Amino acid sequence: MNGLQFVFLLAALVSLFSAVMVVSARRMMHAALWLVLTLMGVAVIFVTLQSSFFAVVQILVYVGAIAILIIFSVMLTRRVMEDHGDQILPGWRGAVLVAVLLFGVLVGFLTLWQGFSVMLVELPPDTDNVLELGKALVSPQEFVLPFELASVLLVAALIGAITIAVDRRKEHQR
Amino acid sequence: MDFLRDPFGFVINWYVGLLSQFGLPPEVVEVIASLTGALVLATGAMLFVVFLIWYERKLIGRIQDRFGPNRVGPWGIFQPIADMLKIFTKEYITPDGAEKFTYNLAPILAVAAVLLLWSVLPLSVTVFGTDLNVGFLFLIAVGALGEVSYILAGWSSNNKYALLGALRLVAQLISYEVPLVLSALVPVMLAGTLSVVGLVQAQEIWFIVTAPAAALIFFIASIAEIGRSPFDLVEAESELVAGYNIEYSGLKFGMFYVAEFLHAFTVSMIFAVVFLGGWRGPAAEQVPILGFVYLMLKTFVVYFVTILFRGTLPRFRIDQMMNLNWKVLTPLSLALVMVMAVVGGLTRDLPLFWQAAAYLAVNIILLVIADQLIRLFQRKKPKQALAIRGGHGALTTSTKYGTGE
């Protein structure tokens, strides 16, 4: 076992453990903090895959924005800061079944994909994978359509959020 | 002679050579050398804060027509050391009902987040922690860890004021990250790389010349990111007592204090690296130690300006701060990114000088348009105008957009 594998195993264990803690922690706030740790573990896994761009974006977007927003909403929601007793609901057996099934289906489909069995190739030291990613995102042969669709979706979400947030009554009073 | 030209590089080479003489395999040598480098850099940065604190207190003192520290040592230069010793001897107090683990984790995380920034900053031609190909993005992402530490501190102290202060600070940091990232895109576009080392190498002409508007937005946003005046709402004593770190005492408070000062200096260094050419200067490539001197000089110029801001500007109200961010800086930086991309595409075949001139012209035009738009808006709706007017004449000078009446 070389160093990279050790780091991968460690990161995977940490993120799995904290992912379990996210759903089983008693206080919402603790769950949110465990979520931060999970996301950082995923970032480390990206690093072991040599995709530093995704690792950094993972931290920037998920830890820096989404996790903080979750913490904010936890803090601003009334009475979720208190203890609520056991977090395990009575129907947990069904939930476990569905989760295992979903995991099985996902892994099953992934094994059908030919990229699943390809071993990782070491990148030549002079290639800039960020450059390649940028080109792929805007090249018509590759991902320009999904990329633009995602942009439209995000703009729609932005406008939707503003529409919900605008307080119309106050605007009129002014 | 080699030692005089590049002492840091010389010592590093000597150290690596020494390690490999012990018969260690090259991977182990690399790991040990990196660990030592990180340790030396982090310790050096932390000790440097002692000097920074003295420098800032002295300057602020002069601005306010006082002497500043002048009792311990020549010009009071050992005052921070005395303060440090005092803070070591103070008692740690953990408030009742605090979350022990996160309460203790927060100050460590705050310092670590700042020290991590140093790992990708090139200090001279030969000395940099690591040349990450997404280094610049890394600089911004690591700031996110700092935000987490503030939230942790505010929430785990079990104190309303701390929580309010943390929420306010993090809201400010998240908001100002938007224009920060957008304006940082401009140098990245100009250089064509995300690596910080590459950014410095690409600055044949400093980016503050080719993109002054981006530099201005970046500077304002970074001052907001370090929570310095005029964005020091976190420390609004009359409203919040002392912000997120109110319950901390002794060395734990000291950690936050060190993190704050070091962050202010580091942000100035990032500005110097990204917009002022980093270690670039006459003969810097032949004599690497000169590059380090240039970088420090540039950083101190920027740091001096932030201290001037701190000493002279009053504090923003929270709505003014948010208005400045969302109504001025964000649209301006969005427009800037688009315009710079278009101009860069149009002038691709021109020689470097003309390309830079085109960039400069476009930047100035954009700044003037923004200024005129704000004036128009203020004249039309004086009541709900951009709060940078807000009835306090002094505030407008801080934004460079106001009339400065």
| pLDDT, tens digit (0-9, with 9 covering 90-100), for A110-130 | 888 877 777 777 777 667 778
Surface of B (110-149) touching A: CB under 8 A: 132-134, 137-138, 140-145, 147-148
Q: Chain A interface, mutation test: which of B133, B140, B199, B384, most A Cβ atoms within 10 Å?
A: B133
Which residues of chain A does B174 touch, with a Cβ-Cβ cutoff of 8 Å? 64-65, 68
- Choose among B238, B89, B270, B255: nearest CA to B161: B238
Q: Do residues B134 and A52 make contact, with C-beta atoms less than 8 angstroms apart?
A: yes
Least confident of B44-48, B91-95, B308-312, B380-384: B380-384
CA separation for the pair B278, B298 (Å, rounded)? 8
B279 Cβ contact partners less than 8 Å away, ≥ 6 residues apart: B122, B123, B124, B125, B200, B288, B291, B292, B294, B295
* pLDDT tens by residue, B247-266: 888 888 888 888 888 888 99
* Beta-carbon separation of A64 and B138 below 8 A: no
- Choose among B263, B257, B259, B226: nearest CA to B86: B257
Which residues of chain A does B159 touch, with a Cβ-Cβ cutoff of 8 Å? none
* Beta-carbon separation of B144 and A36 below 8 A: no
CA separation for the pair A144, A98 (Å, rounded)? 35
Buried b (16+ CB within 10 A) or exposed e, B352-383: eeebbbbbbebbeebbeebbeebbebbeeeee
Q: What is the pLDDT of residue B238?
A: 65
C-alpha distance from residue B125 to each of A157, B67, B118, B197 (Å): 45, 39, 15, 9
Q: By CA distance, what is B160's nearest residue in A?
A: A75
Q: What is the pLDDT of residue B239?
A: 67
B28 Cβ contact partners less than 8 Å away, ≥ 6 residues apart: none
Which residues of chain A does B197 touch, with a Cβ-Cβ cutoff of 8 Å? none
Q: Do residues B137 and A57 make contact, with C-beta atoms less than 8 angstroms apart?
A: yes
Q: What mean pLDDT comes out for the span A72-81?
A: 73
Q: Provide the mean pLDDT of chain A.
A: 83
Q: pLDDT category, B381, cuts 50, 70, 90? A: low
CA distance to partner chain B, nearest, from residue A130 (Å): 8
Q: What is the pLDDT of residue B400?
A: 44
Whether the per-residue pLDDT at B402 is higher than 80: the answer is no
Kindly indicate whether the ipTM for this predicted assembly is greater than 0.90, answering yes or no: no
